[in-house]
Structure 1
Amino acid sequence: MGNQVMPREQLGICAEGNLHSVYLMFNANDGVEDQLRPSIANVAQYIYELTDQYADSAFNGFVGIGANFWDTFYPEARPALLKPFPAMNEGNRDAPAMEYDLFIHIRCDRYDILHLVANEINQMFEDLVELVDEDRGFRFMDSRDLTGFVDGTENPKGRHRQQVALVGDEDEAFFSGSYVHVQKYMHNLSKWNRLPLKKQEDIFGRTKVDDIEYESEEKPLTSHTKRVNLKDPHGNSLEILRQSMPYGSIRQQGLMFISVCRTPDNFEAMLRSMVHGDGHGNHDHLMQFTKALTGSSFFVPSLDFLTQFDDAYTPVFGNKQAMPLHCFFI
């Protein structure tokens, strides 16, 4: 990037875990691109500012633009590797695609703040979009999935999170952006909980209580960790940063799986390994106990990319970003 100022990443991409989350999936109404572009910029700026305002409850978030909507929205430039969700199916293993135009991801350690901000964002978009899906996530025990196993154990730590998650010099126009894939998995917990502990551990490839990964030679080829811990031809690990959380109610519950990465290829390779296996019939046996309901592909540009469009249109709240919340939290 030479001596240029680095574009600011949207802070929810690499944030550490939270207690609560809200996921909002929107589709744009027809012909609103010119008004929606600055409206999105305002929402992204608003989320960015609230990160400081509610630092004590670790508020963070990001705005993602759907792969299929990108060209309508920003026809001048496209992230080099952006493509639709890689839908896959084999046997009883299904990874369907369900694309949305916009994804708003907000997280916080206070549920009330999240609820207010979600309402606020919905109002900021006014009549420009339709809210198609809404889910609310939560931390379960010590960052476990509802299966009882720790989730995200392999996540990169510290500054390495940025190195894995954010686009670099390879695509300068989209520096500090990220490729995001979202799948809503519904677990069959009654079926899962009938399994003996050792069988569950073999399916994950790690111990349940103390979260110790099996030695490589002890891992079944059908275990989840075996299927997703992949290497490139040079022996380097294919890494993603997982920002997943459990979601749901008694009626429907599971994992909101969210992969963020500087390339979409790593996620696609993992999904292929889970669904299609290794070419010798070894696929991910965890998929016998959970079902992907959705699959969506987004790009989360830098804040600076989005806010270059924020002057053309004044939203309902004008320049009063964050004002409506002050009356609640003075």
Structure 2
Amino acid sequence: MSQDVLREPAKAAIFLVVDVRPGSEDTARALLADLAGLTRAVGFRAPEDQLSCVVGIGSSLWRRLYQAPPPRDLHPFRGLSGARHTAPATHGDLLFHLRSRRLDLCFELERQVLRRLAGHVQVLDEVQGFKYFDERDLLGFVDGTENPEGRAATAAVTIGDQDPAYAGGSYVIVQKYLHDLDAWQALPVAEQERVIGRQKLSDIELTDQPANSHVAATTIVDPDGTERQIVRDNMAFGTPGAGEFGTYFIGYAATPAVIERMLQRMFVGEPPGNHDRILDFSTAVTGSLFFVPTAEFLEAPSTRGPATSPDGSLGIGSLRRSRT
């Protein structure tokens, strides 16, 4: 069974990225095996608020946890540098994506996770996200409009025959963007709409779509005309007292190649130099890639331990929602 990747948009979320300290692999594996039960225990007091947690594993940690070879497309996040904007690559061993209709449930589950991992991990990033009005980001535009639904959503995020040993899993890429709201709000609404590629109030795409709009940059179409899709679950975050306002981008996909192509178009441009204009107002400060195993694998991986056997050979084991 896949982890709970596909959910209705939540009202609250916590994004937690940690590194596992050397020698703490057994503790991390034990926590991952118990995570579903821990989530049920915390969420039991308010099941109607739909607490969930998805965990992703980074490429460097995978080889420390499991004998099985890594999933086919798992690799470190590939940073990008365009003529004007950069998508940095930042480290992360584990991503915890906690969601609920109430922030207190997310808070309590995070507290329990970190209690179990105390002394064994270093927290690299911790962001509390919230639903902002009618699914809008802090720039004032609806976020996630083009997310697929139903079977199309399942197909977009679920690994299949392309990597049979890891069928049912997913990949997830996260980036934290900080907005220059003063510069953005100085733009007339009509110009903001040309940056995004949608009308601000109605959320309808512009008929005269600029080639460097956000919508144009993040629309990926194969040569045969097939549009490639991902599932985004972005959330707004901010601390007005510190002047920090942002969007936490999180994209799930059956292969990271789709999101990587979007980011290439955003930061470098196709052709080069035709970057996504939203980057003139939103700066990426993190970037990480993780594999999302099935729930069954987390609870009982078929092989455990170091990535190589005592003779140095690789152990082989079998394993049982838009805008960027």
Q: Structure 1: where are the runs of 5+ without partners?
A: 1-7, 313-330
Superposed displacement of residue 148, structure 1: 0.2
Question: What does residue range 290-301 of structure 1 map to in structure 2 within 5 Å?
Answer: 290-301=282-293
Aligned Cα root-mean-square deviation (Å):
1.9
SS for the counterpart of 2:18 is strand
With over 3 angstroms needed to count, the CA separation of the structure-2 counterparts of 1:118 and 1:99, relative to structure 1, is same
Residue matched to 1:328: none
Residue matched to 1:28: 20
SS for the counterpart of 2:71 is coil
* Residue 239 (structure 2) aligned to one of 243, 246, 249: 249
Residue matched to 2:135: 143
The residue type paired with residue 24 of structure 2 is: V
Moved more, 98-107 or 110-119: 110-119
Superposed displacement of residue 73, structure 1: 1.9
Moved more, 302-311 or 277-286: 302-311
SS for the counterpart of 2:48 is helix
Superposed displacement of residue 286, structure 1: 0.7
Residue matched to 2:159: 167
Does the aligned pair in 2 maintain the 1:42–1:310 contact within 8 Å? no
SS for the counterpart of 1:169 is coil
With over 3 angstroms needed to count, the CA separation of the structure-2 counterparts of 1:282 and 1:148, relative to structure 1, is same
Residue matched to 2:183: 191
Superposed displacement of residue 49, structure 1: 6.2
Distance 2:286 2:165 in 1: 29
Question: What does residue range 35-184 of structure 1 map to in structure 2 within 5 Å?
Answer: 35-47=27-39, 54-184=46-176
Moved more, 243-252 or 33-42: 33-42
Superposed displacement of residue 34, structure 1: 2.5
Residue matched to 2:3: 10
SS for the counterpart of 1:133 is strand
Indicate whether 1:227 and 2:227 are aligned. Answer: no
TM-score normalized by structure 2? Answer: 0.89
Give the fraction of aligned pairs with identical amino acids, expressed as a percent.
Answer: 36
Cα deviations by residue, 1:100-120 (Å, 9 ceiling, x for unpaired): 111111011112222111111
Q: Structure 2: where are the runs of 5+ without partners?
A: 305-324
Does the aligned pair in 1 maintain the 2:42–2:108 contact within 8 Å? no
TM-score normalized by structure 1? Answer: 0.87
Residue matched to 2:261: 269
Distance 1:89 1:20 in 2: 32
Distance 1:166 1:55 in 2: 26
Superposed displacement of residue 162, structure 1: 1.2
Distance 2:46 2:150 in 1: 22
With over 3 angstroms needed to count, the CA separation of the structure-2 counterparts of 1:32 and 1:60, relative to structure 1, is same
Superposed displacement of residue 40, structure 1: 1.6
